[in-house]
Structure 1
Amino acid sequence: MKRFRKLSATLCLAAASTLASVQIGAAERQPQLASVSTSVIDLESGKSLVSKNDDLVVPIASITKLMTAMVILDAGQPLDEPVRIDQRDRELAHNYYSRIRTGSELPRGDLLRIMLMSSENLAATTLATHYPGGFDAFVKAMNAKAQSLGMTHSRFVGPSGLSPDNVSSASDLARMVKAAVDYRLIREYSTTSVYTANFDRPRYRVGYTNTNALVRAGKWDIRLSKTGYLDEAGRCLVMVASVDGRQVAMIMLDSFGKLSPVGDANRIRKWLETGNVSEIASAAANYERRKTATLMAR
């Protein structure tokens, strides 16, 4: 009997050791990332390539605007129709700074483009107020779209992402990005490097640049892009890019510093192409540890 107990204990210890080795091996196969939440998927197969805290519900800042764009395009409103920006739109955009002049007009398609490429908040709010039924109907449509995509961890209260009450998870946003990349105009507008918008009444021009440095650099094959930032959300970046011969969706939420999400994207790409893991800066690593601990303790 004693021999049997010893054998059983030895087998259990060996099994535990094997399980620990498997878990460590799995962890070693994941790249080191500065983002608190991450989801990377192969769009063709649906296979998860990287996941890190991907079910944490967090503010998503201007990543919201991808949902805004889908709802606008689903409505089928004329993209060449001039849309007037008024004071009510500015108030709904929390009076956030914008170079757009109150009372001026811009075609709906141009508002959509500068919203996606340059994260223009007033453009997002104006699109929502000119939606059939107005602002409240638009927000309702956003949440209905999220539900139809299976985004069970998501809630939207506005079109711009300026409210921290717009929340989701990396796994939910992977679903949203997979849907958004099927829209030709979202692909085109979100990856426009530079654009000049020609406003009317009065006539003036405003130049815009893409908020994603990787799009501006032109060294990646990027099909979709959106950045986001709020104090509560940290730095966020979602992309669809061609990496190692496959279309990959990358969702990176809550990073420290402007360069951290871009750094994570490069680390993910390097890992997918070579299997090599790059280190992250100590400040970004410390931020990630603090934020993860705080979120896990909720």
Structure 2
Amino acid sequence: MRVTAAPRDFTPARVSIGQAIGLHATDDPLDLRSSVALVVDQRTGAPLFSKNAQAVLPIASITKLMTALVVIDSGAPMGETLEITAADIDTEKNSGSRLPPGTRLSRGEMLQLALMSSENRAANALGRNHPGGLRAFVDAMNTKARALGMPDTHFVEPTGLSSSNVSNARDLSRMVREALEYPLVRQFSTAPGLTVDTGYRMVSYRNTNRLISSPTWDIGLQKTGYISEAGSCLVMQVSLDGQAVVMVLLDATGPSSRFGDAQRLREWLEHGGARAAPMRTVAAPSFGS
């Protein structure tokens, strides 16, 4: 029998932290592909659906919501020009970017790219240009988290590329509810696209959340995220039959699964699920930084 050797550069797929600690074994009646799910009433914060909401996990680019809050809180002018430098190149995951060093954009454009398209270099440049620099910016992120009552949240950088940026669904629902008070975050996170001049060429970006383009969804704020340790993540504020809710989905098994899970939760809510069958889920272990 002839055996073909595997390519030398073959690397087995990495499992998420949630998969590694068994969160995906948690049963739920909607058969969600996300190991963590939470839906709360936007006004009161009361939970309508909960699955492993206390599990502390990496949150990937959901981080950029806190980045946006700190940028806006600083009062820095949105029209000020910032420059992408070599310091903004990702050495954590070696991810790519269409913003080469030397790109000069306004702070507002950087913020929209970070929220709408998860542009990592833009997010890092925002933190680096904070008064006191990047370290002061991260300190401000953690101070803001404590002020919002997010005890299980910790940040080490502004992009979400580090798996040491961690939180849980309960904390993230608080952050989303706070972010809804910021008109720029609502506007930039739900914009369908943006074209910018990098100084080398015009580059068009689209929203990473495909539900934004759907006429059947009324989304007031959103943020997607992915790194291998976190799985695919999604937070949103949506209006369903006049009720405003916040959805948090973490550690989905594929890039499309988080959107499918959002649809399942929507249908469950629209059919009276929260009133007919209050949710209870088992406790789950936590992952800390």
Task: Give the TM-score range, shorter chain.
Answer: 0.7 to 0.9
Which structure has the larger Rg? 1
1:265 pairs, out of 243, 246, 262, with: 262
Alignment CA distance shift 1:109-1:264 (3 Å): same
For 2:221, what is the secondary structure of its paired residue?
strand
> In structure 2, what is the equivalent of residue 12 of structure 1?
none
* Alpha-carbon offset, residue 180 of structure 1: 0.6
Structure 1 residue identity aligned to 2:137: F
How far, CA to CA, are the matches of 1:100 and 1:154 in structure 2? 29
> In structure 2, what is the equivalent of residue 242 of structure 1?
239
* Paired residues of 1:121 and 1:160 also in contact (CA < 8 A): yes
How far, CA to CA, are the matches of 2:92 and 2:286 in structure 1? 32
Alignment CA distance shift 1:130-1:245 (3 Å): same
> In structure 2, what is the equivalent of residue 24 of structure 1?
none
Structure 1 residue identity aligned to 2:34: S
1:274 pairs, out of 266, 271, 275, with: 271
For 1:99, what is the secondary structure of its paired residue?
coil
How far, CA to CA, are the matches of 1:297 and 1:134 in structure 2? 31
User: Could you state the TM-score of these two structures normalised by the residue count of structure 2?
Assistant: 0.83
How far, CA to CA, are the matches of 2:188 and 2:103 in structure 1? 21
2:277 paired with 1:296 = no
For 1:126, what is the secondary structure of its paired residue?
helix
Matched ranges for 1:184-199 at <5 A: 184-199=183-198
How far, CA to CA, are the matches of 1:114 and 1:122 in structure 2? 9
Higher helix share: 1
> In structure 1, what is the equivalent of residue 10 of structure 2?
none
> In structure 1, what is the equivalent of residue 277 of structure 2?
none
* Paired residues of 2:56 and 2:286 also in contact (CA < 8 A): no
* Paired residues of 1:92 and 1:125 also in contact (CA < 8 A): no
1:211 pairs, out of 199, 208, 212, with: 208
> In structure 2, what is the equivalent of residue 123 of structure 1?
122
User: Could you state the TM-score of these two structures normalised by the residue count of structure 1?
Assistant: 0.81
Measured against aligned partners, the alpha-carbon deviations of 1:196-220 in whole angstroms (never above 9, x if no partner) come to: 1123xx3531100000010123320
* Alpha-carbon offset, residue 31 of structure 1: 3.7
Aligned-residue RMSD, C-alpha: 2.1
Point out which structure has higher relative CO (alpha carbons under 8 A, 6+ apart): 2
Alignment CA distance shift 1:43-1:170 (3 Å): same
* Paired residues of 2:58 and 2:164 also in contact (CA < 8 A): yes
Measured against aligned partners, the alpha-carbon deviations of 1:53-79 in whole angstroms (never above 9, x if no partner) come to: 101000000000000000000001010
* Alpha-carbon offset, residue 91 of structure 1: 5.1
Count of residue correspondences: 254
* Paired residues of 2:57 and 2:286 also in contact (CA < 8 A): no
Matched ranges for 1:1-298 at <5 A: 31-90=30-89, 95-199=94-198, 202-275=199-272, 296=285
Structure 2 residue identity aligned to 1:61: A
Structure 1 residue identity aligned to 2:224: T
Structure 1 residue identity aligned to 2:257: S
Structure 2, unpaired ranges of 5+: 1-26, 275-281
How far, CA to CA, are the matches of 1:238 and 1:84 in structure 2? 29
- Percent identity over the alignment? 48
How far, CA to CA, are the matches of 1:237 and 1:46 in structure 2? 18
How far, CA to CA, are the matches of 1:80 and 1:154 in structure 2? 31
* Paired residues of 2:98 and 2:203 also in contact (CA < 8 A): yes
* Paired residues of 1:96 and 1:122 also in contact (CA < 8 A): no
How far, CA to CA, are the matches of 2:163 and 2:91 in structure 1? 14
